[in-house]
Amino acid sequence: MEIYILLGFVLLLSIFLGLELISKVPSTLHTPLMSGANAISGIALVGALMLSAEGQIQNVLAFFAILFASINVFGGYLVTNRMLSMFKKKS
Amino acid sequence: MNTLIDITIFQNLVYIVSSVLFILGIKMLGKESTAVRGNILSSVAMLSAVSVTLIDVDIGIAIIISAIILGALIGSVIALKVKMTAIPEMVALFNGFGGMASFLIAWSQFTDTQPALLQNLLIMITIYIGGITFSGSIVAYGKLSEKINLEKGSLVTNILVTFFYLSIPALLIMMFVPALSINPNFIFLGFLVLTVLAGLGFVMPIGGGDMPVVISLLNSLSGIAAAFAGLLLLNNVLIVAGSLVGASGLILTIIMAKAMNRTIGNILFVGYASASSSKSEGEQGEVKPINAEDAYLILENASSVLVVPGYGMAVAQAQHVVRELGELMEENGTEVKYGIHPVAGRMPGHMNVLLAEANVSYDLLVEPDDVNPTMDTFDVAVVIGANDVVNPSATEEPGSPIYGMPIIEVHNAKTVFVLKRSMSSGFAGVQNPLFFKENTRMLFGDAKESIGTVVSEFKD
């Protein structure tokens, strides 16, 4: 139980940190920010890798969890990078 | 010495480092000058968190490698091949996959252990948020790419919406009565299916014009699902990264809702259903069409021009000719600005991405608040496929469903050109009095062709 209180604490602080960090973003960057944040949500990959693999169902679930999270991670970062490389100030 | 403990400590230390890198990365993403580095930093954080997790895994290495390689291939191909006009649906799709991953993690945790009350609660929440994010994003993807065309009020939509409302009490029961979910297996499986159906019902009735809000919200939910999966697995980096995404998505959602002057609840559950009252007004006068050649003559003599793009520019893929026209006008001595409304298009910042793709310098882009006070100094405002975001009803007609929404007040410019395919109304279903104003000229036809004609006139 204690660990959940501690982790709940981390959760709340992170949300407040996130709200503070991104309260003033120029609208130019709304899409890259959203897409970059979307890539970060691929952190579920770490969770997927931690799953146990006792039975057949677990193995199938783990495979698909890793697969979907990987698509999210690779696709998310690449497309954000592609988008950001287009944003430039012309001289 | 127990090596296993050492590994756990090492992993947790690296998780702390990656959490810090994620925080810095997302902070840097919020500034033009540092955004590229911010994204790279966040990918380094991801790489280190994943690598250190791989040191000690239970799943067979063959499964891991094949799943990651396959995922990397699919993700990279989609990300590199997609057209910039299709970015909104693709972000929605990736987002859905992230939600699916959390959904599967929680499912696996459920089959793995006999969960205690608190764990059971977390499993059910994670499944619910993850499942809704997944199927909701798939619907958003379908709507944006125009593969799904089910309107609010159709039978299928109503059935799906019913599932959404049923899913809420179902979630509460599953959360607080763990005994029920364990015993007959089909109850749990039924809950999984219901969650996915609920996500369909959640997004299906929402109109295309409200998609910027929906996409930001789904983005936020995918982060929250990951954060809950982190609570479930007792993993810090999942919690931190997930919460950051949840918070950033929430802020964008609020910004989008504010730009429409509506509450999030109104967008999600009410829509523009009450818009019918304004239809009765009927005739509003006569529209004055203009052809591209005449438009050129006026533009050539203008000393300042404001371009206001909307979703129509994305559909017509007109961003490149728009940039060309802008450059030609600048060479001609005209001051050119681009007025960007926050909810123009189908996702937050949609117009910015398209103009950036076409190589328009971002310091030429202005927001409504910057440009409205000096609108009367513009000789011409060129509206390209935008409708609701330039609808003067929002400031002039207290009865209008969009009354109070901040708009770009192009009607105050000396002349307004509206490039449009036909006289149909925008997504809000509201007639636009701008088209009937004294200083408005309608340039009917495909935006890309119309502007192309003006461009070739300039070149001659």
CA–CA dist B459, B167 (Å, integer): 61
Q: Label the pairing between strands B380-384 and B415-420.
A: parallel
Does residue B28 contact residue B37 with C-beta atoms inside 8 Å? yes
The reply to whether the predicted model has a pTM over 0.90 is: no
A14 confidence band (pLDDT: 50, 70, 90):
very high
B232 within some domain? yes
A35 within some domain? yes
Residues B293 and B184 grouped into a single domain: no
User: Taking a contact as any Cβ pair under 8 Å apart, which residues of chain A between 43 and 72 contact chain B?
Assistant: 43-55, 57-59, 61-72
The tokens 């309260």 sit on which residue?
A: A23
Backbone region of residue B276 per phi and psi (left: phi > 0; alpha: psi in -120 to 50; beta: other values): alpha
Contacts of B100 (CB under 8 A, 6+ apart): A64, A65, A68, B130, B133, B134
Q: Provide the CB-side half-sphere exposure for B278 (13 A, CA).
A: 21
Contact residues on chain B for A3, CB-CB shorter than 8 A: 234
B261 within some domain? no
A54 within some domain? yes
The residue segments making up the domain with residue A42 are 26-84
CA–CA dist B124, A65 (Å, integer): 17
A90 confidence band (pLDDT: 50, 70, 90):
low
A7 within some domain? no
Share of chain B above pLDDT 70, in %: 92
> In what order do the strands lie in the sheet containing B415-420?
B365-366, B335-339, B304-309, B380-384, B415-420, B440-444
Residues B222 and B288 grouped into a single domain: no
Residues B239 and B116 grouped into a single domain: yes
In single-letter form, the type of residue at position B130 comes to: G
Is A5 an 8 Å CB contact of chain B?
A: no
* Interchain pair B245, A40: CB under 8 A: yes
A8 within some domain? no
B125 within some domain? yes
Helices (H), B234-318: 236-259, 264-269, 292-301, 311-316
User: Pick the catalytic residue: B112, B363, B388, B446?
Assistant: B388
How close B279 comes to chain A (CA, Å)? 33
B370 within some domain? yes
- Please give the pLDDT value at position B117: 84
CA–CA dist B341, B331 (Å, integer): 26
A39 within some domain? yes
Number of domain units in chain B:
2
Number of domain units in chain A:
1
Residues B105 and B247 grouped into a single domain: yes
Which candidate in A20, A38, A88 is best for mutational testing of the B interface (most B CBs within 10 A)?
A38
Cβ pairs A/B, distance under 8 A: 372
Query: Helix, strand or coil for residue B381?
Result: strand
Does residue B66 contact residue B78 with C-beta atoms inside 8 Å? no
The residue segments making up the domain with residue B448 are 280-459
Q: In this predicted complex, what is the ipTM?
A: 0.95
* Interchain pair B25, A49: CB under 8 A: no
How close B101 comes to chain A (CA, Å)? 4
How close B264 comes to chain A (CA, Å)? 17
- Please give the pLDDT value at position B277: 40
What is the mean pLDDT for each group of 10 consecutive residues in chain B (460 residues)? 74 95 93 91 97 93 96 95 85 94 95 80 95 96 82 82 92 82 76 95 84 90 96 94 94 86 80 46 70 89 92 88 93 92 85 88 88 92 89 84 86 91 67 87 89 89
B126 within some domain? yes
CA–CA dist B230, B224 (Å, integer): 10
Contact residues on chain B for A89, CB-CB shorter than 8 A: 32, 361-363
Residues B28 and B127 grouped into a single domain: yes
Residues B64 and B182 grouped into a single domain: yes
Residues B358 and B222 grouped into a single domain: no
A45 within some domain? yes
Q: Is B369 a catalytic residue?
A: no
Is A9 an 8 Å CB contact of chain B?
A: no
B259 within some domain? no
A78 within some domain? yes
